[in-house]
Amino acid sequence: MADRTQGIMNPLATFDQQSEIMDALRSAFGPRSSKPPTLQEELEELSQDRLGFILRIATFVKMAHAWNNTEPYHVLVNRMYKRLDTDTKRLVAAILQDADPIEAPVAPEPDKRAEARKKVYEEYQMAFDFDDAQKDTDRPDTTMDNSFMRKMAMSESSGDPNAEITLEDGRTFTGLYQFGDLRLQDYRKATGAKFTTAEFKEDEALQQKVAEWHFADIEDAIDALGSEADGYDRDGLMAVAHLGGVGGMKRYVRTKGRYDPADALGTSLSDYYNKFSA
C-alpha cells in the first residue's frame, strides 16, 4: 500500500518537526498575552480619511436609531450597511455604544410612521462603488458628465426618487437630489413652471429636469469665477455648491477652503469636495 501523505499530526514526522508544528499551533491558538486595544487606541491609529468615513456612517446610524431607540447599534448598522466590512461596522457600533449606551433591547411598539421615516435615513447610506458609473450616451451631450449626477443621486438618496427628510428646523428635502423648497422656488421662478412639492416627489422625470437646470446653473457660477477657480476640481466645486449653495461655493473658493461649514447631518463642504473630486 502506498504511504499516505503526511499530515501535521502524522506520527512519522520527526520529533523536531512535531515540536515546531506544536509551537506554531500554540502561538496561533493559545491565549493572548496582551490586552486588546481600547476603542480610543483603535481610533487614534486610523487615518483622518478613514476616521471621517466611520464617523459619517455613525451619524446616519445614530439618526436612524433616533426613531427607535431600543434596537442595538450593532444590529442596526449591520442591517443598514450589509456590504460594509465587519471591522468598520464593529467600530461604528462601538463608538455609538460608548457615547450613548443601550443596556438591553426591548421590543418596540409598531409605528408605521416612525418606520417609514427610519427607512429614509437608512437609505442615506454611502454608495461604496462608483467605478462602474458611465456616461449616458443616449442623451445629448452637455457640459456636465452624467456620471456626476448618478453619483450625486446615490449620495443624496441612494437612488430613491421618493426619498424625503425633514430636519429639526422644519426644512424638508425631497427626491433623488434632495432639493429643498427654496431651490424649487428658484426653478419655478426661472422657468415659469408650476408644481407642488408633492407633485415633484412623484415625478422622477421632473426631478431630473430640475437637477439638470440646477447643475447647469452651478456650472455657470463656476465659469463666472474665472481664474479664481483654477486648481479646483470642477465636480468637487459642483458638489460644494449643491450642499452649500452657489454663494457658499464662491466663499469656499475665495477663502481657499477655510470657509467650511457642515450641514445638519454633519457633512462639511470639504467632505463633499473631496468625495466628488476626480
Residues 224, 114 within the same domain = no
Render 162-202 in DSSP notation, one character per residue.
Answer: T-EEE-TTS-EEETTTTEEHHHHHHHHHHH-----HHHHHH
Q: What is the pLDDT of residues 19-58, one digit of tens each?
A: 777 777 776 676 665 677 888 888 888 888 888 888 988 8
Confidence of residue 128 (pLDDT cuts 50, 70, 90): very low
Look over the chain and give the mean of its residue pLDDT values, rounded to a whole number. 79
Question: Three-state SS for 21?
Answer: helix
249 is a domain residue: yes
Pair (55, 117) in one structural domain: yes
Taking alpha carbons only, the member of 182, 248, 228 closest to residue 238 is 248
Say which residue, 125 or 236, is predicted with more confidence: 236
Structural domains counted in the chain? 2
246-277 per-position pLDDT tens digit: 999 999 999 999 999 988 778 899 999 998 98
* 185 found inside a domain: yes
Task: Please check whether residue 133 lies inside any domain of the structure.
Answer: no
Q: Which of 67-71, 153-157, 175-179 has the highest mean pLDDT?
A: 175-179
pLDDT of the residue at 189: 95
